Each structure stands twice: as C-alpha cells, then as structure tokens.
Amino acid sequence: MRFGKSILFSLLLLMLPFTLPAQEEHGTPAAEEEFDPGTFILAHVADSHEWHILTKSNGESVAIYLPVIVYQKDKGIDIFSSRRLAEEQEYKGYKVMEEGDLKGKIVNVKPDGSIDEKNLPLDFSITKAVVGMFFSVLIGLWIFVSLGRSYKKTGISYPKGIQSFLEPVVLFVRDDIAIPIIGEKKHEKYMPYLLTAFFFILLNNIMGLIPFPPPFGANVTGNIAVTFVLALCTFLITQFSGNRHYWKDIFAAPGVPFWLLPIMIPVEIIGMFSKPFALMIRLFANITAGHIIVLSLVCLIFLFKSLAVAPVSILFVIFMDCLELLVAFLQAYVFTLLSTLFIGLAVKEEH
C-alpha cells in the first residue's frame, strides 16, 4: 500500500511542472484587459461544454469541443458539436446565454430573435464532468474486474499483484466501517454500495487533482449535481431498508409525551433529509475549495505579472496539492463512514 501511494505521489509531483506552460499561454491575451482571477477560477472549477486546453496568443482557443445533446418538445432531439455554439453563435435556434440568471445555459431563440426564457430545453449534453466520470468508471471497471478475475483464477490464497494493493483497503472498509456499525449479520447486503461509493469518490477526487492530459483534471466530485446523486443514493438505500423500529423512532419516538409529537415529527423528518444534504455539501465544498485554493495560488503569478513569484507560488501549490491528496482520501472515507452510520441506524435491532 505504501509503495503504491508513493508512486501516486511522485506522479502527481511530476505533473505539476506541466501546468505552468499551459497556464502562461492562457494569460497572454489578457494583456489588453485586466486579468480577472474570479472569472478565471470559476471557469476552471465549473462544468462546461468544451474542454479548454489553451488559448493561443492571437486570441484563438484550442479546445476539445464536446457534443451537445438537447431535447425540446417541438424540435425533437438535436445532437451537434459545441463548436457551433462557441463564441455566442446561434445554431438551429439554440444559443448559450451570456449574462443574467440563465448564464451559461442553452436557451431557445424564438424566430423573431428574442430569447424564450420560460421553457428551457432539456440538456443531456456530454460535458466535461461527464467525460471525467466515464473515464473514471472505465478505470474503476478495469481495476476491479481484473481483480475479481484474478481471485477467481487463484482462489483465496496469498494476494499478489494488484490484489495486494486493494485487498487491505476493501478489508478496511468491511472490518472497520461496515461490521462495527451495521453488524455481522446484515453488513454483506450493503457492502457493494459502500465499496462503490468509496472507490468512485476516491478515483474522481484523485483524477480532479491531476491537471494533464484531458480526461484527467475534470472537476467531477466538485460538481454539486454529482454529489447530489451520491447523497440521493444513500438516502434511498436508507429509506428502503428501514425496518419497523426505524419508522417508529421517527413518527413515535419512545418516551415522548403525546403533546410534544406535533413538534417532534417535523423535526425528525427534517433530520431525515438534512443528513444526506450535509453529505452532499460536505463533499462538494471540500473538493471545490481545494481546487479554488490551488487555482488562486497559480493566479498569483499573473496578478503580480512577474516570473519571480513563480518558485514561491509553485512551492505553495505543491504543499496544497499534498493536503488535497489527504483530503481526497479523507472525504471518501467520511462519506462512506456516514453512509454506513445512516444505514446502521435504519437496520438497527431494538434492544
């Protein structure tokens, strides 16, 4: 386990020098306008329809244009490259809003040229985060399917190869998280979900830290829609596996006098929803805050407009990246631990 971690660490350190050339080219066209760190950082942290690689010094941008898939009731499904919508063009009646409440979203343009703000098209596009997720799913599948196959071949014996790297982690999730909280008898049903959540969050956190080449460096777990779905999965599993005692504790907690129940029941229901909500916000904010800190430290170079700031800034960035690596593991662990706690509360047998 230590060997694998040091390889990962050195890979991350090796990737760092490559961030500078790409970022410097990005900064040059801003010589005419003031460099705005706010929009720069938000553009790198948020999701987008194209994968921006660099901006050449004549203002042209080199990017991978991802497909846009929109569905509007009367127009049907439209699939086209986001290059048609780049730089405020309009294509087939669709346009990306530049300002206002709907900034960044794809809207319908009515035949007379005005923008229809009421019914927005359904946007199923393959955006940056989706590509990042597909890639991390592929990596995860490759690792774990080969793991399963190697176990099938050799049976339960001493671990070798990638088994020796992953087996301690899987056993850790089972013996230190699942069994103490859910119990020996029932933990096996929930192990697949807990392991999937743990490794999905871990893989996506780590991939968000690696800036280069394109499938890495997508901010997946820092996207609140992704963490919302993860928290929703935990919520659904908790609700559907709640036994009688769980529902009794919510609607008629033992020891509560009957006249307090009208207050206790809404409070318990709010508690039921607020716990997964906290899971969602915790993961999203931790990962996004880390990315914003690293991006701001790199922005320092452009704000001061001198190359002498670069060594100091890079040292800080290396330190923050190590901290981010710790946070990546920690947040995966905390998400899994809290999900296990909620599931354990739901299936707990009464004394």
Partner 1 sequence: MTGTMAAVGAGLAVIGAGLGIGRIGGSAMDAIARQPEASSKIQINMIVAAALIEGAALFAIVVALIAK
Do the Cβ atoms of 108 and 71 come closer than 8 Å? no
First to last CA, the chain: 40
Subset of residues 133 to 172 that bind partner 1, contact rule: CB under 8 A: none
Label residue 133 exposed, middle or buried (CB < 10 Å: 0-12, 13-18, 19+): buried
**Closest CB to partner 1 among 31 and 278?**
278
Do the Cβ atoms of 221 and 208 come closer than 8 Å? yes
- Between CA 235 and CA 206, with CA 142 as vertex, the angle to 5 degrees is 60
Subset of residues 69 to 98 that bind partner 1, contact rule: CB under 8 A: none
- The distance of closest approach from Cβ of residue 99 to partner 1 in the complex, given in angstroms and rounded to an integer, is 17
Radius of gyration of the chain (CA): 24
- The phi, psi pair for 89, rounded to 5°, reads -80, 170
- The distance of closest approach from Cβ of residue 17 to partner 1 in the complex, given in angstroms and rounded to an integer, is 30
- The distance of closest approach from Cβ of residue 284 to partner 1 in the complex, given in angstroms and rounded to an integer, is 8
Window 263-302: contact mask with partner 1 (x via CB under 8 A): ---------------x--xx-xxx--x-------------
**Closest CB to partner 1 among 102 and 334?**
334
**Closest CB to partner 1 among 124 and 172?**
172
Q: Three-class SS of residue 113? A: coil
- Between CA 50 and CA 16, with CA 143 as vertex, the angle to 5 degrees is 50
- The distance of closest approach from Cβ of residue 334 to partner 1 in the complex, given in angstroms and rounded to an integer, is 5
Task: Choose the stretch contacting partner 1; rule: CB under 8 A; options: 83-91, 181-189, 307-315, 327-335.
Answer: 327-335
Interacting residues toward partner 1 by CB under 8 A = 278, 281-282, 284-286, 289, 330-331, 333-334, 337
